[in-house]
Structures are given as structure tokens and as C-alpha cells.
Structure 1
Amino acid sequence: MTNGHKNSIGFAYQDWCRWNGFEYTPLRFKRNDKLPYIPSESDIDQLIAGNGKKISCFLQFLKESACRPIEAWRITSEDIDLNQQICYINKPAKGSNPRVFKMSDKLTTMVTRLIRET
């Protein structure tokens, strides 16, 4: 059982005791934070390759631009310049600033195929 889980149980028991008129002070356990798992680039590429056209284009866009998913969904065909391989993120989320990034050849072909199909 992790220390964070022990703290949660102690706080829940403290609330129950307070509700029943008891006095209880739970022990405080120090949380052991660990680094999150960061997949390798080959793992990300396998994930992108294993999806359909729309989702793989979306995932490749997120990988290259490092933007939030909502920012990627808000992009329209007017925000993409295929000749110069540039994408403008004009509707940023959470108070971010608008920005521009250069698309790779792979992403440009994926986006071009999607635009032609729709």
C-alpha cells in the first residue's frame, strides 16, 4: 500500500470519526513521488502507425507540435500553409500565446491526404 493511499484512508477515517463525535488525528505519511513513464520515440511511432488515417494524423500532429489536443482539434485548413509546410496555431488553450511551427514532410503528406478526402 502506498503512502498516498495510507493518507487517504487516514483522512477518510478522520471524517468518519468527526461525523460520529470522536476526535482522531491521522498519521501523516510522506509521499514517494516517482517520475512518469515517458515512451520512446519508436513506441510513439508504432502507436501512430497502428491507427487509422485521421487518428494517426492527429497523433503525428501532437508529436511534432507539442500542442494540447484541443488546440489541434481547433485547427482548420486555413491555418495550414502546405506550400511552406507551416502550421499556425491561432486558437491556443489555457491562456497560451498563438504560435507557428514547421511541419515535417511526413505530416504534410498526411494532412494533404486528409484535406483532399474531406
Structure 2
Amino acid sequence: MIVECYSNYLICVGGTWNPPKYRAIEKLLFIPTESEIDYLIASCGNKTGTFLQLLKETGARCGEAWQLEWTDIDTERNTVCITPEKHSNPRILKISQRIKERLLDLPKTSKYVFGGTNLKTTTRLFERSRKIAAAKSKNPRLNKITFHTLRHWKATIEYHRTKDILHVMRLLGHKNIKNTMRYTQLVDFGEQDYTVKVAWTLEESVKLLEAGFQYVCDYEKAKLFRKPK
């Protein structure tokens, strides 16, 4: 990263150099458990906890969520409209009744849901609460959780749930699917139990798909579908 930054700087100023050769070490993203995330959310104050819950449910970047305006919340459909960062795509994301109520309970002191203040202040408060929570629970893994970690967690969980990489790509607002592919093998969730259904007609197949079942294969004249229990 430093080598690349310095090389780009020299291009701007017309300089040259012989950059050292190195091999970047790729590390897997840290994915906490849901119980660790929920414990950390419960350990924070109302505003910070609500912010974390929104990140957990939507997978939005922290800057995108921080710029959320009251007019971006659709209370009838339980959705939020995300204005993109980093040249990504805008998107409308589903939220739970719980987080909707928490958002609407925040003080309305600005057109921004979280007040429009500097995100760095909330980051410092979060880091302080995180340190206390890690010490209290004797779980140092909590100290590895950042705002962006919740985006990684959401993407990983959604891919595990749907096995649909295009769905995850749309959820995150990625324009390049290569950025999304890294979430496909992050966590081994082990064996999973499924509810299996058989459809003999087009109407039965449509009903199963609408109920969240995934098509598996044909068997004789039937179609097999499954859904995680």
C-alpha cells in the first residue's frame, strides 16, 4: 500500500524511482459470530447501538449509513434508501420493524438521522465501549470488530443463506463482481438441515419459490426444492 501510494505521488510530481519488490500477504476477513455482534451492540449507547444495528441489517458502509436522512426511511415498506459511496450503486434495503422503531426514536435535530455530526466522534465512543465490552466479557475478539466488519458479516451471511452471488453484489452496491466473490468462502458453517419439497406443476413450483425455497434438480417428472430450516 505504501509503495503504491508513493509511486502514484511520483507520477503526479513527475518523479521516478525503482520500487522494491514485494509480495502482498492476503488475509481472510475477520467474521465475528452474531452473538458477539449482538453483545457489542447491547454494550453501546442508544445512538451508537442503533447505528451498529443498521449496519448489521443492511451491510451498508458506515459513511453511507451515517449520511442517512429522515426522508430516506420508508416507514410503510420498512426500507431505507442508501446513497452510495466509492462509485458504487444506490440501493433500497429492507430493515426490520425493530431497527425502524429505533431509528424513529432518535432525536430529530437535523435532516440527518444520526445528527449530521462528525463520524469520528461516534467512532471514538464506539471504540471505548468496545474495549470495555471485550474486557467485561473476556473476549478479545470483540476488539477486532469495526463498523466495516458488520458489512463483511452481512455479506457472508447473505451468501450462505441464498448462495446467490448476484444478490450479495446488489446488496453491497458493488459494480464489479470480483469485489463480491471473496465472501463466498469466508466461513465454514458446517452441515445444514433443509426442508425439502416436491413440485409436480408450474403452480406448485411458483408457490415454493415465493415461499423462499430454492430449486435443486429434476427427479423423474418432479422438481425438488429446498430451504434451510
Q: Shared topology, TM-score over 0.5?
A: yes
| Secondary structure at the counterpart of residue 39 of structure 1 | coil
Residue by residue over 1:24-76, the C-alpha shift from the partner in whole angstroms, topping out at 9 and shown as x without a partner, is xx9x8877644333110010011111111110111011111111111011110
Q: 1:77 to 1:43 in 2, by over 3 A?
A: same
Q: 1:31 to 1:53 in 2, by over 3 A?
A: same
1:6-45 to structure 2, matched below 5 A, reads 33-45=26-38
**What corresponds to 2:70 in structure 1?**
77
From the two aligned structures, give the one with the greater strand fraction.
2
Q: 2: CA distance between counterparts of 1:60 and 1:46?
A: 11
Q: What is the aligned counterpart of 1:109 among 101, 104, 119?
A: 101
Counterpart of 2:66, as a letter, is W
**What corresponds to 2:165 in structure 1?**
none
Q: What is the aligned counterpart of 1:51 among 29, 44, 48?
A: 44
- TM-score, scaled relative to structure 2: 0.36
Q: Based on CA coordinates, which of the two structures has the bigger radius of gyration?
A: 1
| Number of aligned residues | 89
Percent identity over the alignment?
42
RMSD of equivalent CA atoms: 1.9
- Which of the pair has the greater relative contact order for Cα pairs under 8 Å at 6+ separation? 2
Q: 1: CA distance between counterparts of 2:24 and 2:99?
A: 41
Counterpart of 2:63, as a letter, is I
Q: 1: CA distance between counterparts of 2:75 and 2:92?
A: 13
Q: 2: CA distance between counterparts of 1:69 and 1:60?
A: 11
Instruction: Give the gaps of 5 or more residues in structure 2.
Output: 1-19, 109-229
| Secondary structure at the counterpart of residue 57 of structure 1 | helix
- TM-score, scaled relative to structure 1: 0.67
Q: 1: CA distance between counterparts of 2:30 and 2:89?
A: 28
Q: 1: CA distance between counterparts of 2:74 and 2:42?
A: 24
Instruction: Give the gaps of 5 or more residues in structure 1.
Output: 1-25
Q: 2: CA distance between counterparts of 1:32 and 1:88?
A: 36
Counterpart of 2:94, as a letter, is K
